[in-house]
Structure 1
């Protein structure tokens, strides 16, 4: 069982196979990670290696396409925030991120005109030309198909770890659950001044399942004293972290922890000083119900769980924490978050909302 600490100095490692062979031990480790850390490595998740390796191979091939092929599915063409983002197009903590990326998600129909604007978060993908990269969609959907039951099982496991009824969290999810995948390429930056791969932030969803696709270091997690704890790749693992929505529905029992990607030159060479090339990363974000509001949250935790939650909170360097996300409906706050992160999409599809958001939260970037 992991050692509990009020100020973690390492990311705990959880073995998914224990959910079958020693569930109490797994739940104890999960409880510590949820309450005290907000991050954990997950090993032995039932995702076929050939599917994982196939996705990584297709990911690298996608970025190798000519720019004109990438621009055929540029995100600015999608009101659903799906598609290609050029290098430096996304903003975090008021600065441009030095990364190039593609966003895909569970294939869903566009909402009807009578539905709330925030339901545009769910919709159809922009897929790359099959002739340019054969089998790409199949590879993405196969990986999401393997990950989906693992992610859904965590709805039960988290409830059990917090000594709630196993079905206690089910009410907070849409059906089907949207899984949003990012395929990210971090080229070696031209200078230290551009070493922000992703600025300090907290994810906004339920859980994030991150596949670190190359051996680069760079992912860092902020502990409660403000220090940065490295989360280097572990072969065959996923890095899982708690999002703001999970923190909200548990009223702070689960902690969403600030993290960043640091593109320092030292993270682009191996132990022998040989260059590693670009860093590739594949996070999948598990979405919660878009219509969820604070008034819908009625979880009652046992006293012994409440006692485990100290008053100490991690100091955050993230400028935009978006507490208002959870004052209305989660979809409203998530849409605001997306248009501030992707202001080109906001200007094209949501100009009034973008202007209001920038006025309220302050200009980003």
Structure 2
């Protein structure tokens, strides 16, 4: 039986013009037909992979008090630790504990007329009990960023655009974000929803999995397992590429199922996105591709905004209502509904 989620080798880009053309076709086809693929030839070593997984396990092994010292609710930037069940997808609890980090930058001063999404920029929270974690995760962030930029350039070429077509909206201050995640076994959860069905909101997601299963992608009306393959990254496109390609590329719904009793699963997702102040352009696709563009998927309960900051903030407010209540109460006082409050969010 043919593998539904294909395996693509990024090093084919450097193997001559003919192999590059074939790779770009395979890349575009995988992103359009499935929306997910395994990536080899990415240049990140097995040692680097082992180190970030080990650092993640050491963080989750800390006493709960050490983790709660950097609980996300303390951060207007939605950075920090979340207990299992503390994040929501479509209103239901996700049974995973996690640490969110983003780009280390200074917070933007607030005042009248400053868009609410500017509060998303700022520092991370790091555990005092595990100082080496900062170095490990920022190093992984740098490695994943390099892979994501190379892939984004390849996607531009695959759509018959200039290689640097996306540069103006991410160069200088891209808004990438990552998590380290632990999914406890089913005996330690309130349900089987590791993460509920959703799409990702950025350009690209690069996911590192340990050896345990759980990730599933929606394909042709069914759920397909995306089981771990050693030394690969799992890549999926996000809603920004869907918007930019007018729906030629489609962000795909996926979920994570809680592991069996007595098993824990560690994953490290990296989300590469545009600058928060960017507006996503609509690419001028060649005629044959434009004819197949279906327009971005429309969900009236979760509209897509072309303004990146508004899109990111909408997603964060929905996922972490405790942070929303503490740091964004003014939006709700003005009557800004999460689904329809674009004016206040922007």
Pick from 160, 170, 180 the counterpart of residue 173 of structure 1: 170
Question: Which residue does 1:287 correspond to in 2?
Answer: 273
TM-score, L = length of structure 1: 0.85
Summarize the alignment of residues 51-70 of structure 1 with structure 2, pairs less than 5 Å apart.
Answer: 51-70=48-67
| Aligned positions, number | 333
Summarize the alignment of residues 78-157 of structure 1 with structure 2, pairs less than 5 Å apart.
Answer: 78-114=75-111, 115-129=114-128, 132-157=129-154
Summarize the alignment of residues 7-86 of structure 1 with structure 2, pairs less than 5 Å apart.
Answer: 10-21=4-15, 22-86=19-83
**Deviation of 1:66 (Å):** 0.6
Structure 1, gaps ≥5 residues long: 4-8, 269-274
User: Does the Cα contact within 8 Å between 2:96 and 2:181 map onto a contact in 1?
Assistant: yes
Q: 1:107 to 1:320 in 2, by over 3 A?
A: farther
Q: 1:237 to 1:359 in 2, by over 3 A?
A: closer
**Deviation of 1:250 (Å):** 1.5
Deviations 1:201-250 (Å, cap 9, x if unpaired)?
A: 0011110000002x221111011x32111100000000011111111121
User: Does the Cα contact within 8 Å between 2:259 and 2:265 map onto a contact in 1?
Assistant: no
Pick from 274, 293, 299 the counterpart of residue 283 of structure 2: 299
Summarize the alignment of residues 340-351 of structure 1 with structure 2, pairs less than 5 Å apart.
Answer: 340-351=318-329
- Name the SS of the counterpart of 2:336 in structure 1: helix
| CA–CA separation in structure 1 for the residues paired with 2:130 and 2:330 | 37
User: Does the Cα contact within 8 Å between 1:93 and 1:320 map onto a contact in 2?
Assistant: no
Q: 1:85 to 1:150 in 2, by over 3 A?
A: same
Pick from 208, 233, 236 the counterpart of residue 231 of structure 2: 236
Q: 1:321 to 1:12 in 2, by over 3 A?
A: farther
Pick from 327, 331, 338 the counterpart of residue 309 of structure 2: 331
| CA–CA separation in structure 1 for the residues paired with 2:268 and 2:301 | 23
- Name the SS of the counterpart of 1:140 in structure 2: helix
| CA–CA separation in structure 1 for the residues paired with 2:300 and 2:89 | 8
**Deviation of 1:58 (Å):** 0.7
Structure 2, gaps ≥5 residues long: 342-346
| CA–CA separation in structure 2 for the residues paired with 1:73 and 1:227 | 38
- Name the SS of the counterpart of 1:245 in structure 2: helix
- Over aligned residues, Cα RMSD in angstroms? 2.4
| CA–CA separation in structure 1 for the residues paired with 2:311 and 2:192 | 28
User: Does the Cα contact within 8 Å between 2:207 and 2:235 map onto a contact in 1?
Assistant: yes
**Deviation of 1:187 (Å):** 0.4
